[in-house]
Amino acid sequence: MQLSSTFRRVVNRFRRPILAYFRMPGSKGFGALIVFFVLIFSGAVFDLKLNYHDPATGIGLDWVSSIYTVFMLLVFESPLPFPKEPIARLAFFLVPISGFLVLGQGIFRLGNTLLKRDLWEAAMASTYSDHTVICGLGRISRRVIERVRDLNHEVVVIERDADNEYISKMRAEKIPVIIGDAHNPEVLAHANIAEAESVVPCTSDDMTNLSIALEARRMAPNIKIVLRMADTRLAENVRTGFDIHTAFSIPEIAAPAFAAASTKAPLDHAIAFDVGNTRNLITITKFDLVPESSLVGKTVGDLEDEFEVAVIALSRKGEFQLHPRDEVMLLAGSSFVVSATIDTLNQLAQLTPPSREYEHYLKGQWQIRT
């Protein structure tokens, strides 16, 4: 799976620039010119092979000599005397002219590619499929982009402000950034919205995000929409009334995290999990296992049974394990992520430091019970 993903990225690294080059404005005319050039080149090879005879000796050419002569004619050089046959003379004129036209057009298009960055970014974005389109480039969307890429998923960004400070960073990471208004169907089309897997309107304005989502849905009815909204009630109405797959309310997401941060408990993250009128929190905390901890030598199963926690992940000897097996042993220097009650988290924090307090532990400012 990983090999396949890596191979696909390597192939795309070479394939996409070539495709994008021929999708720049004027590509149809350039394509026709190349076809014309190929026909001239091939015809000239046949022409010289069948019709050329040296004016002095009358000797003709073999296939290799014909091909070599045509290549030389492209750079306005000829290893052969000018022929007497009118049809052979035609090759001596048409080949340099067609080569000059293709070379000139190629240089012009290369200049467009280098100087008109926005056109190139749109051309690159048109080569993507099954990707995520992020609308709006800010602090939150930057984190979304990082996480999406962590999942080996590709991203195209639409940003209205050409002076946005994050654009250069995104482009340095080979992420296409299209400058334009994501409300505009033409701009969404440049992001190849028709072949995208999902779109994430992630600006700071709820109505802007909703407008982008509806336009994307109109252009690509089956696209998945993940909508950022600040208004909790509006998010729920959008979810049900507009058939938006996912509408996230930022306050709704942030509230558990703020609640977790406001306590003395060692909480890294918290997720609301409400059932009816009962509010619950799912906690997530990472611990570093120090050598003197009494947890060293226990297994994952021992930890879960003794403290009634759920071990979500474990990093041991540089190996990351999601949902580690019960028999895996906890070693000094390893880290583990658990979900537990507040009381249990406080109990574990007395036996080994939470990762965020590890520096305090090294300074002697976080005491553990041995």
User: The pTM is what?
Assistant: 0.58
pLDDT, residue 94, reads 84
pLDDT, residue 326, reads 95
pLDDT: is 234 or 157 the higher one? Answer: 157
Spatial distance between the Cα atoms of 16 and 11, rounded to a whole number of angstroms: 8
Share of the chain above pLDDT 90, in %: 31
Query: Alpha-carbon torsion 257, 360, 349, 296, what sign?
Result: positive
Whether residue 247 is predicted with pLDDT greater than 60 in this model: the reply is no
Q: Which residues are CB-contacts of 259 (< 8 A; sequence separation ≥ 6)? A: 270, 281
Residue whose entry in the numeric block shows the structure tokens 């048109």 = 126
* Mean per-residue pLDDT of the chain: 82
Q: In what order do the strands lie in the sheet with 224-229?
A: 177-179, 155-159, 132-135, 198-201, 224-229, 246-249
For residue 224, give Cα distances in angstroms to 49, 192, 212, 220.
Answer: 59, 14, 13, 9
pLDDT, residue 108, reads 66
Note whether 107 and 114 are within 8 A (CB): no
pLDDT: is 319 or 370 the higher one? Answer: 319
Helix and strand tally (H, E) in the chain? 14, 11
Note whether 299 and 330 are within 8 A (CB): yes
pLDDT, residue 306, reads 95
First-last CA distance in the chain: 44
Q: What is the pLDDT of residues 312-363, one digit of tens each?
A: 999 998 899 999 999 999 999 999 999 998 889 999 999 999 998 899 899 9
| Cα dihedral: 55, 59, 64, 66 (round 10) | 30
Q: What is the pLDDT of residues 39-88, one digit of tens each?
A: 888 888 898 888 888 888 888 889 998 898 888 888 778 888 888 888 88
Whether residue 201 is predicted with pLDDT greater than 80 in this model: the reply is yes
What's the CATH fold of domain 263-362?
A: Alpha-Beta Plaits (3.30.70)
For the chain, give every domain's residue range. Answer: 2-115, 121-249, 263-362
CATH class of residue range 2-115: mainly alpha
What's the CATH fold of domain 121-249?
A: Rossmann fold (3.40.50)
Q: What is the pLDDT of residues 109-165, one digit of tens each?
A: 655 555 566 777 888 888 898 899 999 998 888 888 888 887 778 899 999 999 999
pLDDT: is 66 or 242 the higher one? Answer: 66
Spatial distance between the Cα atoms of 176 and 125, rounded to a whole number of angstroms: 6
Whether residue 187 is predicted with pLDDT greater than 90 in this model: the reply is yes
**For residue 336, is it left (φ>0), alpha (ψ between -120 and 50) or beta?**
beta
Note whether 91 and 62 are within 8 A (CB): no
Share of the chain above pLDDT 70, in %: 80
Q: What is the pLDDT of residues 75-111, one digit of tens each?
A: 778 888 888 888 888 888 888 888 777 777 766 665 5
pLDDT, residue 1, reads 44
pLDDT: is 35 or 263 the higher one? Answer: 35
Whether residue 7 is predicted with pLDDT greater than 70 in this model: the reply is no
In one letter, which amino acid is 230?
A: A
